[in-house]
Amino acid sequence: MRKLFQADLINLGEQLIQITSLVHTAMEKAYTAFDTTDLQLAEEVIAADAQIDRLQVELDEKAIELLALQGPVASDLRMIVGALRMSTSLERMGDLARHIAQLARMRYPDRVAPDALHPVFEKMAKLTTQISSRLITLLETRELHLVAEIHALNEQLNDLHASVFTIVAAEDWQQSPATSVDSSLVSRFFERYGDHAVAVANKVDYLVTGSWDSRELS
């Protein structure tokens, strides 16, 4: 019984890694679709999000079943509750990738963002995938230096998000209101993706160290 339970916990961890990998790929593809106006790729990301949602529900049902059947305590309990929390954040990250793909589809065959914002979005997209790539490794290895790295990358993402508003509000900005709105939304989707990744990383930190610090609030 006990041995089976440990296998269940490991399995839960593997499910989290699988979902994170799918979310990571979704964001990579969503940005490519957005950047290259690739309608087919956008559709692919939108369709794939349903699989992420299904896997989240499966993980949650499994976690609740473990709570019910095993009555876990201490670190096992923390791990299972942590998995429930992390799956919620990961599912939202998948939604945000889908939102970017949906914007690409809505504006097709036009590009969503103007050339002036291309370098910023290129950097933001790179940061988001660096963040989720580190998140996968963090879940696999529990090497806590990755938590700090994810925080640092997310800071850069926040700075770029702020810069988008500055660019859009500048006097030489000549774009349509719809483009202003689309651009700021995409920027916000990237920024929220980073925030959710930080929330997941903080939970891993908490599970490993057992300390519930103020970052847990974020």
Among 79, 84, 136, 208, binds its own copies (CB under 8 A): 84
For the record, the structure tokens of 213 come out as: 């610090």
For the record, the structure tokens of 194 come out as: 């980073």
* Burial class (CB within 10 angstroms; exposed 0-12, middle 13-18, buried 19+) of 146: buried
Distance CA 106, CA 136 (A): 31
Contact 101, 34 (CB under 8 A): yes
In the region spanning residues 112 to 131, those forming contacts with its own copies, defined by CB under 8 A, are none
Site string for its own copies, 128-167 (x = CB under 8 A): -------------------------------------x--
CA neighbours within 13 Å on the CB side: how many for 31? 21
For the record, the structure tokens of 79 come out as: 């791990």
The residue among 96 and 131 lying less far from its own copies, judged by its C-beta, is 96
Site string for its own copies, 19-58 (x = CB under 8 A): ----------------------------------x---x-
Does the footprint of its own copies cover residue 169 (CB under 8 A)? Answer: yes
Binding stretches for its own copies (CB under 8 A): 53, 57, 64, 67-68, 71, 73-74, 77-78, 81, 84-85, 88, 165, 168-169, 173, 175-178, 180-181, 184-185, 188, 216-217
